[in-house]
Amino acid sequence: MAAPVAIRGQRSLLRQIREALAGGGPAQQRLDMVVRIIALSMVAEVCSIYLRRANAEMELFATEGLDLKAVHVTRMKPGEGLVGEIMRLGRPLNLADAPEHPAFSYRPETGEDPYHAFLGVPLLRGGRTIGVLVVQNRTERIYSEDEVEDLQIIAMVLAEMVASGELMTVGELEGVELAPRRPERIKGSKFAEGLAYGAAVLHEPPVASSQLLSDDVAAEQERLDAALSGLKDQIDRMLEGQHGLVDASYDVLETYRMFAHDRGWNRSLEDAVKNGLTAEAAVERVRSEHRARLGQARDPYLRERLHDLEDLNDRLLRHLSGDGSVARDLPDNAILIARNLGPADLLEYDRTKLRGLLLEEGSSASHAAIVARALDIPCVGRLTGLRDQVSEGDPVIVDGETGEAFLRPRADIIRAIQARIEVRRQRKAEFAKLRDTPAFTRDGVKISLLMNAGLDVDLESLADTGAEGIGLFRTEFQFMVSEELPRLGGQTQLYARVMDAAGDRPVTFRTLDLGGDKVLPYMEAEREENPALGWRAVRMGLDRPALLRLQLRALIAAAKGRPLRVMFPLVASVDEFRSARAFVETEVAWAQRRGRPAPSRLDVGAMIEAPSLVWHLDALLPMTDFVSVGTNDLMQYLFAADRGNPRVADRYDFLSPPALRAMEAIQRACAETGTPVSVCGEMAGRPLEAFALVALGFERLSMPATGVGPVKQMVLSCDREAARRGVSALLKSSAGSVRNEIETLARKLYLAV
């Protein structure tokens, strides 16, 4: 028998299938026609389609060459036979003599005894195997690489046509699991408080079935070549550092460049286009193959390489789109689904329609989580396998209180979550009534409640919350959401807008806190073994004085003679603060020499985040105008537990004796020297933790906008002196945490927490 010859060109096999289906008719008749066309085109004596049922069995749905009586009768259990092996592996199986394979399962009703050569490929959709396409021949032979590629292309198109209802109606597919249907509950980690119920929107949606086939192969090849060239140039520029300063992900970019120049990856894309796919469909085909092949890998290195490939495919799709935009139209109740997100990506979506965010990865300290909290969008992360378990439009619940996601929830779960959402709405209404009420404790102590910010959208919350000012403005956010290094004018404009929005209320600007987990795609630096303890924050500013001085110059210009408060992050020694403060004085003198107004009042402070400063406050405080305690970093360093690592992030508690003693020591030292002190970490925005801080003597708390209402309600119900006595007694405890005891104390004092 002559070797099979794949049909290519304008009258390709894919086009033949599409034309055959256009004639309509019963679903089974159309499926039978499809396998007949494939068998004829591939010069195969057998062509069969198996589809996955809800119980994970693979059912024979159509065949050309096997006994037709086996259709809808032959079913392979999960892992059974060669079809089960393809489903398990998620990749092609090419055998010269199929009956000799250890996984071969003989099914007499099919009549496949005479056939030896076997080629099966998975029908992949979103990394999931929804079916298997098989061709067989009597003669023992291995199918060529071109034939394998052709069958994979056909399988991709068939998968999208079946899933979109183009091949068969929903009724005709009853019982077939084209996408997950059963209710699922996935446990993750809570990144941003809140509850949401809505429709799933995939951050990188699959290419629609209507956009799979091209009419002009040459034009698609040209588009693909241009996009690949643009992608490679972009990565090369990043690696050459032409855009700026720091990128702790240098190795990731090296991996990107390796993959972008990989002949196999490029050839796979080009072959898919030559076979009649659009450039976008070619990217999706290669993506699905990699997901299926590497997604099941247990080796963390291989799984990380899959993530690199995913990002590379996303970048290539954006080059193909031409505008680089990731956002699109959303339904009114959108729940965004992604592996991970940068802050710029999240901000491109219409936040009036975005109800919640679910991520496969990330941490509560990640950029996406911080932005989600700023936008008051519930967010749950570290949801393993999320994207392969949800389809576009699926009903989804985000439970930011328990750190869970419910996919396709049951009616009783929906009713329960809607009731909880209504309770939260009523509580928000109560907090809104307190907006203009000063935060005094019951025994008359004034507690200043400020908000953390870092984005333009945060400024809208300043008036809505009743916050008394901005206790922490994260200036690095402007750098993180920008495509290139912000210039002097851009920085000045942002800082001026912040001051204008605040009016007479104080604003504390934190200088750039870059490095660690805050990496920028346009900056370059060496990879560090432990970036959280490495070259970041004020250390970077002192080593790159041009960057720090440019920012200070912008802040002084934005003040326009108004009061200015500047704070340096992660100061670990008094020498660092002394050097940083000297830069401020230099820039003020520079402005005055040019006849520009100096700030009417200049306050320069330090963030206490390094434990070393806790034991050197006697030297530091006289040099500062104020200090602020960054409890997030201080606690992770105090307990030597990375807050972004889920294995150790819960190994310590803010409400533990060592943490509370450290906070007490800072407050006492500041009180003795008359140094204004505030707390601006997560601890300040949680009512119970804020209660402990008030008991320790702190009177200035800065928190996310969503925390102002709950904390104010707590303050108004608190007797500070009674709280002080109760918490003071707990500082001597030998327990690892005194959270339960503080909760009991709060109940005894009738505290609103």
**Structure letter (DSSP) for residue 529:** S
Total length of the chain: 753
CB atoms under 10 Å from CB of 77, counted, come to 12
Integer Cα distance of 315 and 319 in angstroms: 6
Question: Residue 311 is which amino acid?
Answer: D
* Secondary structure class of 552 (helix, strand, coil): helix
CB atoms under 10 Å from CB of 489, counted, come to 10
603 φ/ψ angles, rounded to the nearest 5 degrees: -115, 125
Q: Which of 47, 379, 670, 680 is catalytic?
A: 680
* Secondary structure class of 520 (helix, strand, coil): coil
Give Rg (Cα) of the chain. 31
Integer Cα distance of 65 and 110 in angstroms: 9
- Structure tokens of 589? 């003198």
Residue that has been written with the tokens 């001597």 in this structure: 732
- Output 64-70 pairs: Cβ under 8 A, ≥24 positions apart: 64/32, 64/35, 64/36, 64/38, 64/39, 65/39, 65/115, 65/136, 66/110, 66/111, 66/112, 67/109, 67/110, 67/111, 69/109, 70/107, 70/109, 70/110, 70/111
Q: Which of 47, 290, 367, 670 is catalytic?
A: 367
Question: Residue 726 is which amino acid?
Answer: G
* Pairing verdict, β 128-137 and 46-52: antiparallel
Please say whether the beta carbons of 471 and 628 come within 8 A.
Answer: yes
520-537: burial string, b at 16+ Cβ within 10 Å, e else: bbbbbbeeeeebbbbbbb
Question: Residue 414 burial by CB count (10 A; 0-12/13-18/19+): exposed, middle or buried?
Answer: middle
Question: Residue 640 burial by CB count (10 A; 0-12/13-18/19+): exposed, middle or buried?
Answer: exposed
* Pairing verdict, β 626-629 and 677-679: parallel
- The alpha carbon of 321 is separated from its chain's Cα centroid by a whole number of angstroms, namely 21
User: Does residue 47 carry a catalytic annotation?
Assistant: no
Q: Which residues on neighbouring strands pair with residue 362, listed in sequence order?
A: none
602 φ/ψ angles, rounded to the nearest 5 degrees: -120, 115
Integer Cα distance of 150 and 274 in angstroms: 10
CB atoms under 10 Å from CB of 617, counted, come to 21
- The alpha carbon of 141 is separated from its chain's Cα centroid by a whole number of angstroms, namely 46
User: Does residue 718 carry a catalytic annotation?
Assistant: no
Integer Cα distance of 691 and 442 in angstroms: 13
Residue that has been written with the tokens 């802050």 in this structure: 343
Question: Residue 61 is which amino acid?
Answer: F
89 φ/ψ angles, rounded to the nearest 5 degrees: -80, -30
The half-sphere exposure of 583 on its side-chain side, counting CA atoms within 13 A, is 25
146 φ/ψ angles, rounded to the nearest 5 degrees: -65, -40
Please say whether the beta carbons of 288 and 125 come within 8 A.
Answer: yes
CB atoms under 10 Å from CB of 487, counted, come to 12
- Structure tokens of 472? 């922490």
Vertex 726, ends 723 and 732: CA angle to 5°?
Answer: 135
Question: Residue 739 burial by CB count (10 A; 0-12/13-18/19+): exposed, middle or buried?
Answer: middle
Integer Cα distance of 645 and 649 in angstroms: 6
| Residue ranges in 214-299 assigned as alpha helix (H) | 217-240, 250-260, 263-274, 279-294
Vertex 388, ends 387 and 390: CA angle to 5°?
Answer: 70
Annotated active-site positions, please? 367, 680
